[in-house]
Each structure stands twice: as structure tokens, then as C-alpha cells.
Structure 1
Amino acid sequence: MDIKRVGIIGAGKVGIVLAGLALKAGYEVRISGSGAVDKIDLTIKTLVPGAIASENADVVANSDIIILAIPLSRYKNIDPALLKGKLVIDAMNYWWETDGIREEVLDPNSTSSEQVQAYFKDTTIVKAFNHMGYHNLQEEARPAGDPKRKALFVTGDDHEAVDEVAHFVDTMGFDQVIHYNLADGIMTEPGSPLFGASLKHNELKRVIDNFDRTEFGRQIAASKQA
């Protein structure tokens, strides 16, 4: 796929930052918010001049790749048919302050991205852009080869799609640590050592290689009981 047009669903802090990075990388960018276009149009023109404020349907129809950057609790507000056949980056996380009680949003038996993929069953989901804070995403994007360049984790079940997203991440200013298992997205969820981290490639890989999924599961369970 030759990605030239980027669509972002979500005009919050992460969506705005990613729109800015995509514009800087030379992509055509469309972005939608939770309300009518006129509610976000001035914000978009002010914060990311050059991006096109639009509605979800127009964003999807006129983009080669879609980024979901909305509160996780709201992904089911989107009709699954809208994203049918699309390559979609899941940049969402569960966050209690915006999403409420975890058990009302997520099944505890699988990761958030697996549940997003199950809902958008005719869509290809790749997890990326979710573990680094939006300030770091904005301030630390650098060209390939820069010794201070940071890395992002990219994972999904479709090898070709993961490779495509990894290339996209590269153009956005970050190295990549790549896995081919969407369930590995648990390594980036809130509470994990990776969440909120801004690391170089070798540092990020070390954290991932040492990640103990069983122990992380115990910690999550303990936090629910506390």
C-alpha cells in the first residue's frame, strides 16, 4: 500500500499530535471529532493548520490508513461497517478517568486491542502510538539515524499490515520494535513497564524481552481487589 492520506478519528490531544506529525511527514490529513465538524474546525485550523476537519465517514472514505485516537470506551459508537476493509491503527488505551469502570469497558480475559479487533471483525487492526505520552510523541520525533531517536512498539496479527504500519511509524519520526501478535499489545497497556515510557530502540526492546505477562496479570488482578 502506498500511504498518502491519513485519517484520524479523535480530535483530542493524541489525535492532534499525530495529525501534526503526519502533516510534517508530508501526508494529507483528515481528522474528526465527537461532534459536528464546525465544533472542531477552528481548533484544527489553529493547532494543525493544513489538516482537514471532517466527519467520520468522510475521514474513512478519503484516507489510506486510519488512526483510532478516541477514548477506549467509545469505540463501539463507531459502526463496524464504516471501517470494513481498512487498515486501522489502534492508538487507544483504557484510562479510568475517561472510561470509567474497567469491567464495564473491557472483558478481563483478553487485551483491549483483541476486543477492538473482534468488534471491527472485517478490519485489520495494528497496535501502535499508544504507549508514549502525547508530549513525547510531539517533541521527540526525529529523522532516521538521529542518535536521540526514540522507538515505538508495533504489533498485530497480519504481517503485511504490521510491516506497513511500521514503515508509517518510521516516516512519523520513530524507530520500531515489531511483533506479529496482537495479544502482545498487553505489553503497552496502562500499568505495564512500557506504558508512558520514552525509550530508544535497544531500551524498548529490552523492556519487551523482559516483560513477564503472568506477573503483569497478577498485578492487574491485585489492583482490582485493592
Structure 2
Amino acid sequence: MKIGILGAGHIGRALARLLAEAGHEVGISNSKDPDTLRELAHQLGHGVKAFNREDAARFGELVIETVPFGKYATLPAVQMEGKIVIDTANYYPERDGQIDLGELSQSAFIAHHLPKARVVKAFNTIHSAHLESQGDTGKPLDERRAIFIAGDDQEAKAVVTRLIEEIGFAAVDTGSLEDSKVQQPGTPIYGPDLTAKQAREEVQKLRGR
């Protein structure tokens, strides 16, 4: 699969390497000229390409956005139309400024900005260092580190689930984009190192409240 990554920070770099190692064609971008990413792309290896954001979004059959939440307006919405978009962003008002979400979850807000994209929330509750080191395809799914996902498109979530499993983790579904509020910063499942079995139990507890 061709995967375009918008954002070359720690999460973007980790996902670029892991997904390229898993056999996918990966293009990575930042807010600057792609020439500023040539060395990084070379270091990541496995044919990772450097693009600008529009070209990365155009290149990817699936697009991963790791842009800081406050920069959501810079996302190339037109190039993301019809595509599965993995939203990894978290809203931190002290960093991103005050943004009126209108009572929406953070990812539902992003989906509203990208109305023709198939948005799936994922990779927002794991530290980049753990993403780099904790994947293990040799473990049974129940024993792998959990990656929480949420979305309104079941087919899109199935694709994202397969990608998560390919890089050695296990997807745990928290529900719809609006349900993704349970995996936002400040929630009990934001950050802890949980196996898939433990994560499902925690999600059930949250739903029972």
C-alpha cells in the first residue's frame, strides 16, 4: 500500500520506518520544502520518499496526519478526499491555543474539517519511543501492546487494524469518532502500557461508567 505521512516529528518518523519495513511504499512530508527531508528519508531507508504535504497526501492510498492539532487548517483537504486518514493528533490548549471544538471529540472535529475523508483515530495514546520499540509480531494479539482506534467507517478501521498488526501491535476499538473522547489526553487509557486484553477490559470499564 502507498502511505503518505503528513508530519515528520517523532510519531511520523517512527511510523514511516515501521510501515516501510513492513513492505509499504511510504512518503513523508513536513511544512517545509521536501529537500529538508532528503537526509531523513535516506536514514529511514526502505525507499521512503520525501514530499511536500500536498504531494504526500496525493501519493498515499492511506494518509497519516501527525500535524500538531492547532495546525489542522494546513491539512490538504482536497488531496485527502476519499482516502482513509489516520488522525494521530492530540489537542493541548497550552500548545495549540484555544480552539472551539463545538462539543465534538478531537477526531470528530478533524473529520468535520475533512468531510470527504474516512477518518480513523489511532496512534495518539502511545509515546514514540514505545512505538519504535514495543511492537512484536511474534506475540499473540492479546499479549501485544494495544493501539486504540476509533472511527465511523468499519472498512477503514479494518484496514488500519491490519496495519497495526503488521507492525507488531494490536488494535483495540473504542467505537465511533465521537466515542474517541475516551482516548483523548487526560483519560485513563491515554498513555498506559496495556496489552490488548488489558485494554479491552479498561474500555469496558469506561463504557460502564
TM exceeds 0.5?
yes
CA 1:8–1:16 in structure 2 vs 1: closer, same or farther (change >3 Å)? same
- Report the CA distance between 1:212 and its aligned residue: 6.0
1:198 aligns with 193
Instruction: State which of 126, 134, 141 in structure 1 corresponds to 2:135.
Output: 141
1:42 aligns with 39
Q: What are the within-5 Å matches in structure 2 for residues 41-80 of structure 1?
A: 41-46=38-43, 48-49=44-45, 50-80=47-77
2:149 aligns with 154
CA deviation digits over 1:92-117, x for unaligned, max 9? 111245313xxx22425111001000
Instruction: State which of 90, 93, 102 in structure 2 corresponds to 1:93.
Output: 90
Misfit runs of 4+, over 4 Å = none
* Residue 24 (1) aligns with residue 35 (2): no
**Unaligned segments of structure 2, at least 5 residues:** none
What count of residue pairs does the alignment treat as equivalent?
207
CA 1:30–1:91 in structure 2 vs 1: closer, same or farther (change >3 Å)? same
User: Does the 8 A contact of 1:72 with 1:94 survive in 2?
Assistant: yes
- Residue 208 of structure 1: SS of its match in structure 2? helix
1:83 aligns with 80
Identity of aligned residues (%): 29
Equivalent AA in structure 2 for residue 119 of structure 1: H
Structure 2 CA distance, aligned partners of 1:154 and 1:191? 17
1:218 aligns with none
- Report the CA distance between 1:130 and its aligned residue: 0.7
Return the index of the structure with the highest Cα Rg: 1
Which stretch shows the higher mean deviation, 74-83 or 122-131? 74-83
Equivalent AA in structure 2 for residue 21 of structure 1: L
Calculate the TM-score normalised by the size of structure 1: 0.85
Equivalent AA in structure 2 for residue 134 of structure 1: S
Structure 2 CA distance, aligned partners of 1:11 and 1:106? 26
1:175 aligns with 170
Equivalent AA in structure 2 for residue 72 of structure 1: F
- Report the CA distance between 1:162 and its aligned residue: 1.1
Structure 2 CA distance, aligned partners of 1:96 and 1:144? 39
- Residue 135 of structure 1: SS of its match in structure 2? helix
- Residue 31 of structure 2: SS of its match in structure 1? coil
Which stretch shows the higher mean deviation, 27-36 or 88-97? 88-97
Calculate the TM-score normalised by the size of structure 2: 0.92
Structure 2 CA distance, aligned partners of 1:97 and 1:24? 35
Which stretch shows the higher mean deviation, 173-182 or 61-70? 173-182
User: Does the 8 A contact of 2:88 with 2:124 survive in 1?
Assistant: yes
1:219 aligns with none
- Report the CA distance between 1:41 and its aligned residue: 1.9
**Unaligned segments of structure 1, at least 5 residues:** 215-226
Structure 2 CA distance, aligned partners of 1:204 and 1:105? 30
- Residue 105 of structure 1: SS of its match in structure 2? coil
Structure 2 CA distance, aligned partners of 1:55 and 1:165? 23
1:122 aligns with 116
